[in-house]
Every structure is written in C-alpha cells, then in structure tokens.
Amino acid sequence: MKAKEARKVSELTPRARRQCLEFADRLAELATEAPRDDCRRAVYAAVNRIRRTYGFSDAEKASWLTNRIRLGASSIADLSRETGLDQSDVVRLLNDLVAAEVIRPYKQSVSVVGRPATLYFLNEDRN
C-alpha cells in the first residue's frame, strides 16, 4: 500500500472502516453465486484485499467464519480461502467457537488413508 493511501485509511473513522468491511461481506456473499470458479476467485481476491486494507478484530473474524459456515463453507481450507485468513488463524478461531458451543466439528472419513476431514456446522442447539 502506498504511503498516501495508507494515510487515508488510517484517517478513516471506525464507522467508515466498518462500512468497508460490511461491503466486503456482501461481496463475499455474492461470490458464492458466481457462475465460474475463476470469477468467484477474483471476487474473493478483491474481498480479501479490502479486509486486509481496512483490518478487522478477532470478534469480526469469528463472525465472518460463522457466517461462512452458515452459507455452507465448512472445512478449514474452505474457510481460509473464502475469508483470506491464514489457516492458523482459522484453526484458532474455530477452536474458540467450538469451546463457546457456537459451532460443532464433525470428522468425516472419506477414505482409509490420510487424516479424516473435519467439517464445521452451526450448533443448532445454541443458534
């Protein structure tokens, strides 16, 4: 990010930053409707740049993960790709959400070799 652009971002009010992040959320939801994978990836790239530029807290990250799970993204790889968060951040936040009983993990074994995939679902008892 150029110095002039960084200064403009740092001068934004918290409300303006939040509006930019909410716009990114709406774009991410639209990306799920993209007719082609390359189109969806391009939209997610724009969403991730907006999120990195305007920043977000752990609470906001957890909220985005919960929303992505609600929309159907449920593996760590899916959530990392769709939110632009590092897999280590996704794992840490998912563990917090499981501990708070907001979501629940489900280990799915598709083959006899390799580690079973862990999928995450909303905890219907809580929501």
Question: Under CATH, which architecture does the 57-127 domain have?
Answer: Orthogonal Bundle (1.10)
Domain boundaries, the chain: 1-56, 57-127
* pLDDT score for 46: 92
**Which one, of 72, 68, 97, lies nearest residue 80 by Cα?**
68
Statement: residue 72 has pLDDT above 70: yes
Query: The pTM is what?
Result: 0.58
Query: How far is the C-alpha of 98 from the C-alpha of 74, rounded, in Å?
Result: 13
* pLDDT score for 116: 76
Query: How far is the C-alpha of 10 from the C-alpha of 4, rounded, in Å?
Result: 10
pLDDT digits (tens, 9 = 90+) for 12-69: 788 888 898 899 989 999 998 999 999 999 999 999 888 877 876 788 789 989 999 9
Statement: residue 112 has pLDDT above 90: no
The more confident residue out of 5 and 111 is 111
Contact indicator for 62, 96 with CB cutoff of 8 Å: yes
